[in-house]
Amino acid sequence: DGGITQSPKYLFRKEGQNVTLSCEQNLNHDAMYWYRQDPGQGLRLIYYSQIVNDFQKGDIAEGYSVSREKKESFPLTVTSAQKNPTAFYLCASSITVTGGAAGELFFGEGSRLTVL
């Protein structure tokens, strides 16, 4: 089945450690996104990518990094510089949005990161 796979589903990290969350899609979508979800705050955009080897910062990019070496993959690294990393992280993809296309987002099942 086509979809988005995120791993791991649960992750625990000690303070000062970097962690990488995986996101893979087989929908042949050009655009991919990372969102952070905190209780009562909705979704906030961390990074997004419209095409391979290109990505842009979202609204809360500080303390995070990404790469887009393949169309199918968009991993997110939560660095030690992120002051409050405990959250639910959601990866999404959509058809290309250039030219005003209104593709809806397809989401993975999420990764819950807890800092101990």
Interface segment toward another protein; rule CB under 8 A; list 11-19, 61-69, 76-84, 90-98: 90-98
Report in angstroms how near the CB of residue 107 gets to another protein at its nearest.
4
Of 15, 16, 42, 116, which one interacts with another protein (CB under 8 A)? 42
Q: Least distance in Å: CB of 16 to another protein? A: 27
Q: Is the dihedral of CA 26, 31, 37, 42 positive or negative?
A: negative
Whichever of 7 and 18 has its CB closer to another protein, that residue is: 7
* Residue 83 DSSP code: S
Q: What is the DSSP string of 11-69?
A: EEE-TT--EEEEEEE-S--SEEEEEEE-TTS-EEEEEEEEETTEEEE-TT-TTEEE--S
Binding site for another protein (CB under 8 A): 4, 6, 31, 40-43, 45, 48, 50, 56, 58, 88, 90, 92, 94, 97-98, 100-110, 112
